[in-house]
Structure 1
């Protein structure tokens, strides 16, 4: 048998003929310990205009596991023509994502072994026959981690699998494993920070499952503050618990069940008789998971804390997208620093979360302010306090009808230009504002309302009809409602996967609230074409994206001496927006600032929770508890948009205002610094479609670029013109240049007819049309003969015809017109 020439083998051949046999020979089990082509990222979505493309991502060639769910090593392979360790840097990147210490790179001759456990991270060469055994790597791993024998039953417990392809993503695995590791080491307060839309509940389920199956935790409580969160959890992620699980209802904790899901309002209340959690002993639960723990659970006087402190002997895990760090409340003070953090920026870069486009709209009265004339009365006959009203005042202390109308018109026009059926959430300052915005949108969309009166709905805590439609709004299969106007109810806990437009007409100073609101749009749903979303910002709220705290670690600010608030513009918005409100329908009892009834969702009166006995009463920032902050209603004020700009999420996680031409230029120059570099790369490609696909994966969207340039150019000329400032040739000019060169004379008559027709096809439709396999199956080629017949008669056969196409393309792009 002839010896295999290793140099001619592909990467896949190297893996199958050399690497897998070496790994299996060392004792690794093919079914439970070896996985090939492990895709760790989904591919970042790049958005420009109304189009999006996913960047292409590579997969880890091989990942080795102690048991599924507990990765140990990454193996990165290359073809034999490469140096043995060429894949090492790529492997190290995958190892970082999987949090594993062992990386192997190979070209089939042996392995380069990077070992983080040896203290020096040395890289040594290992022969194919000396690949480490599973026990050798596991022992080194355990020593590196410092695991004790008592920890191993928890550490080694399998995660739940239903036999399908669904398994935890790499960051979920890290969150699960780091939490199990912390608990097995005796930690009893654990904080996980994961961006909205990254699967916190699924992660929590896998943590509970492993601890429960390992018999390390026997009675578990999952606590949430929204009915919808509890019900979604029970029906979806927690379903495998089956008959062992119950939802606490009727203020009764049933000891017959092991997994308890509860709305915390069902467990407690202001009266002692309402404290259902006291029906059981303090050691009844040995594990408590607190969902969205930033919403009050950290506050020392909150109802959450009463439950958590009663069951203080239980291990408690806090889940949040936005750890709360304010002058008075800190999640990290209670739970400690997060054992794992996965941010919005990481989620977007990995392609698991939707990027956003921001349309910032500046209205003249917002920027310039508005002042009433002396003695001017509002629509209700009240004299308007004489001062300059600005953006923070509108729809809070002053309502200008024309401004509401202009905002509604802008929303409507955007939807009409893009997708009138795109799920949209409009965040308003209060319920009154949400009512007026709904009415304005209804009146601007009579055709849509005629189809279904649920096209626009107000969904707020005070409106039973609106709340009843919340499930329909978040269900991708239900078309209606399309537009939801809201104040607080939909800012958190609403899993609206197909929400494509988030409108901000609300004053937002709280970073916690801003992150939660942005989280309404960050979910991706490939099935329904939701890859990105737009933020339509009327209140400069998106300036918070530039705040270092937006995607960084929360900063704990300790205030040692309370200061009086003297300036309404400085203080009121912080008090209203800084709270994390709990809607009335979900059991808010007013005991926390921003709780139900105290969210600013009233008719013209703003209140906060009591700090000194005036709970529920009017709040005035000057300190007079009896003074009411009145809302004035005016009309007849000319209002217009003075600026509108579009910003995109860029590679650095920042918002940038740039044209698509700028983006394309920046992207291409990273790959091809000069025109000659690009021309060589273009000409070297056997098929130009491959280059176009590659550039599209990098975010160069041809339709968008062509529209911005305003000319229908060949992709090659588009790039030469936009990136390298070359005057472009049209496709017709390129085709005519080929004909002038008498290039076809070397072919017979049949071939000349075929190539001339293909050249005309290129001039009319572009280069990809002559590369398709079906190019000869349409007129005028069908009049000359069948494709195979033409290939043989004109060129000598299919292979020679393919070669002729390659040469034709080289002729088309042979010379580039210079300035």
Structure 2
């Protein structure tokens, strides 16, 4: 196997114990090798086929977008082929396929001729700006290229769909994908990056202009009567810029004026699940020979309708039908388990009044007034009944709004303080106004009570009616703009990395819109140490986790005088559209309480034979994870013995991850972020006190004073250094190669300083036993 390139690929979090080796092949003098398999290395005393169960083999292939998984203990090896789903082995390790054999086998199994000039795209290096992509970003690009090559081989149009969770870096993927195509000579014509919002356009410009030389990437716009992007290699445009947003036009003006048919080599459609901007399919239909790549977090299907139009619906509304199934998927849960996206604690709540149904007679008895005008409402302007999902849309209940705001404000104060970045999704503009006002009142009262000066724009409305100018200070400043009350203006295209909570005060039926909204909170913000976010659900919307992305055909939007338009083109149609009727507001005399329904965490589970994201009670999730640990170590003594053995510890964490249990997530959600994984399991599994890393370090240094005094000074320095490193980085720091590069340890002699006590590995193990025994 000496002639086969091995590339070690770690996930972001070092604590998870997962290490994979990518098995790569090289084609001539190409800039970059091509991953074709994963190798799982086992200890030489273990079964070489250990861990090669079919589910894991398949998952590994899909996760890294490779064809094969190999497992070996150095003496024997086994394998699994994704294409045939066939396991095989064990075979003697000397019979492991050579580089040439593996290359030929890959070409045969995938149908890709690696010697063909167009296959060069598989071997191109990333742009200098993004030359350290995350493993899934690289895998997504390779999966896209393989689809393109297969389509060309079969004489079919190249249509590719990539589905990655919001926050996973789809724009970086697009930048490297286009760069690699450029380097492979596949951009004879320009590439087009098409999106539906100015924020997405600016984000694309920021990433793509870093990847390409200056002047190669331009934003499409009119400049002195000409297209400013005319001579650029990559064109960035919104649907509106190309004239694709006007349903009344019979042609796409800017597009047809400045671009002939088949003007582009590649077209990347960002957020391709959205169809709100009309006939954007025109740009695809005018460029049938281009590679069409759709990027989305929510690949959707259209629910069949008698009234749908064939061509546009086929492209814009049913991206699975047009692009085909995603060639690569990376879910929210995968990203959270990997540590690339923030962990999410779901808190389910419900206003007690939401169990009540109001009849027309009850509303009349409460003397309803129009929330806009204050005038009394006539019986004929009322509906027969009002249920919870109508609240704030068809009827306004001030006590309910006040109760929900008070409950939320209290929770913010209890978990980090009121000055956190929060998005509250409201039902309509008028509702957002009322919520913003009440949150501001609560904050002002809190500041007065605590002797603090209120900060500017604490709570503000941000909808299609206005407030978007405050998005940037909300994103960048820790001194103003904290609570954004919106309808769905902030549902997509706005990155607020420091966002601490996503709150639902509105009911939803669209899983697409729901996932996009949740995605606002998933980004990690290192600067403020934000590794988790709260999802406060007051309306039961988290039941949409794991549901299919299916959309009913859009209904024509009719402008009516006097209404307030809270929507901005979301998929749900629930922006509170224009209502010709008065909006009744009543005082119910209800106590306005909010009922806590539990804390939850996301987990993948098998539902009706399909793996889906499910909100599992946090205590249940934690207990199941701990039970999995107890099956391998029944007592604390057994657990400590397992934990100090690096291979056994990593296998344990690997088993948990493989069964979709994330120790990192539990540690963060249970308030034990400053504890090592050892203390997490010791506390919940064996009823031990959970010590923070510095506390365990201090206890070790204190308890082992006699041991340190009994050895050579340099040996003692190294033994103490082991405790110091644990205090800084936990167990992982003790298993890192950098441990021996720490100045104090290196000056004392490093590993050599332990030899007077025996084999250094045995001494290190004893130090760990003493450390975890305090």
Normalised by the length of structure 2, the TM-score is 0.73
Partner secondary structure for residue 469 of structure 1: helix
The equivalent position to 2:318 in structure 1, one of 327, 330, 343, is: 330
Does residue 409 of structure 1 match 2:406?
Answer: yes
Task: Write the deviation string for residues 610-660 of structure 1: whole angstroms up to 9, x where unpaired.
Answer: xxxxxx99967xxxxxxx23212234633222444222224533212353x
Distance 1:650 1:260, change over 3 A: closer
**How many aligned residue pairs are there?**
663
Distance 1:373 1:461, change over 3 A: closer
Structure 2: how far apart are the matches of 1:356 and 1:322? 18
Distance 1:324 1:479, change over 3 A: farther
Q: How does 1:46-65 map to 2 (within 5 A)?
A: 56-61=16-21, 63-65=23-25
Q: How does 1:357-372 map to 2 (within 5 A)?
A: 357-370=345-358, 371-372=362-363
Q: How does 1:366-445 map to 2 (within 5 A)?
A: 366-370=354-358, 371-374=362-365, 376-378=367-369, 380-383=374-377, 385=382, 387-420=384-417, 421-445=419-443
Partner secondary structure for residue 542 of structure 1: helix
Does residue 629 of structure 1 match 2:568?
Answer: no
Partner secondary structure for residue 207 of structure 1: helix
Q: What corresponds to 1:646 in structure 2? A: 599
Task: Write the deviation string for residues 63-108 of structure 1: whole angstroms up to 9, x where unpaired.
Answer: 3243636202333333434455557668775444223334444444
8 Å contact 1:604–1:630 — kept in the other structure? no
Distance 1:604 1:76, change over 3 A: closer
Structure 1: how far apart are the matches of 2:165 and 2:771? 52
Q: What corresponds to 1:461 in structure 2? A: 464
Does residue 209 of structure 1 match 2:179?
Answer: yes
Q: CA deviation at 1:287?
A: 2.0
Q: What corresponds to 1:772 in structure 2? A: 701
Task: Write the deviation string for residues 299-342 of structure 1: whole angstroms up to 9, x where unpaired.
Answer: 9xx22123332333433222222233333442233333333333
Structure 2: how far apart are the matches of 1:271 and 1:701? 53
Q: What corresponds to 1:246 in structure 2? A: 218
Normalised by the length of structure 1, the TM-score is 0.69
Distance 1:252 1:276, change over 3 A: farther
Partner secondary structure for residue 230 of structure 2: coil
8 Å contact 1:116–1:122 — kept in the other structure? no
Q: What corresponds to 1:293 in structure 2? A: 272
Q: What corresponds to 1:471 in structure 2? A: 472
Q: What corresponds to 1:263 in structure 2? A: 238
The equivalent position to 1:146 in structure 2, one of 94, 111, 119, is: 111
Structure 1: how far apart are the matches of 2:284 and 2:427? 33
Q: How does 1:29-428 map to 2 (within 5 A)?
A: 34-39=5-10, 41-43=11-13, 56-61=16-21, 63-66=23-26, 68=32, 70-83=34-47, 86=50, 94-109=60-75, 121-123=87-89, 125-128=91-94, 132-148=97-113, 152-162=117-127, 166-184=131-149, 185-186=151-152, 187-217=157-187, 218-241=189-212, 242-250=214-222, 252-253=226-227, 254-268=229-243, 269=246, 270=248, 275-279=253-257, 280-296=259-275, 302-327=278-303, 328=308, 329-370=317-358, 371-374=362-365, 376-378=367-369, 380-383=374-377, 385=382, 387-420=384-417, 421-428=419-426
Q: CA deviation at 1:206?
A: 2.4
Structure 1: how far apart are the matches of 2:680 and 2:217? 60
Distance 1:369 1:775, change over 3 A: farther
Q: CA deviation at 1:514?
A: 1.1
Structure 2: how far apart are the matches of 1:803 and 1:439? 64
Q: How does 1:568-579 map to 2 (within 5 A)?
A: none
8 Å contact 2:171–2:204 — kept in the other structure? yes
Q: CA deviation at 1:787?
A: 10
Q: What corresponds to 2:500 in structure 1? A: 500
8 Å contact 1:457–1:481 — kept in the other structure? yes
Q: CA deviation at 1:362?
A: 1.3
Distance 1:292 1:665, change over 3 A: closer
Q: How does 1:756-771 map to 2 (within 5 A)?
A: 769-771=698-700
Distance 1:179 1:524, change over 3 A: same
Q: CA deviation at 1:594?
A: 6.0
Q: What corresponds to 1:759 in structure 2? A: none
Partner secondary structure for residue 283 of structure 1: coil
Larger-Rg structure: 1
Task: Write the deviation string for residues 528-563 of structure 1: whole angstroms up to 9, x where unpaired.
Answer: 322222111222212222x542xxxx4588xxxxxx
8 Å contact 1:282–1:311 — kept in the other structure? yes
Task: Write the deviation string for residues 1-42 of structure 1: whole angstroms up to 9, x where unpaired.
Answer: xxxxxxxxxxxxxxxxxxxxx51xx3x4xxxxx344311x33
Distance 1:483 1:540, change over 3 A: same
8 Å contact 1:95–1:102 — kept in the other structure? yes
Task: Write the deviation string for residues 165-220 of structure 1: whole angstroms up to 9, x where unpaired.
Answer: 84333333332223222223323333222221222222222222222322223211
Partner secondary structure for residue 520 of structure 1: helix
RMSD: 4.7
8 Å contact 2:126–2:179 — kept in the other structure? no
Unaligned runs of at least 5 residues, structure 1 = 1-21, 29-33, 44-53, 558-577, 580-591, 610-615, 621-627, 708-713, 732-761, 815-819
8 Å contact 1:113–1:125 — kept in the other structure? no
Partner secondary structure for residue 235 of structure 2: strand
Unaligned runs of at least 5 residues, structure 2 = 309-316, 570-574, 606-612, 657-661, 718-752
Distance 1:776 1:790, change over 3 A: farther
Q: How does 1:639-788 map to 2 (within 5 A)?
A: 639-650=592-603, 652=605, 653-659=613-619, 662-673=620-631, 676-682=634-640, 698=663, 769-772=698-701, 776=705
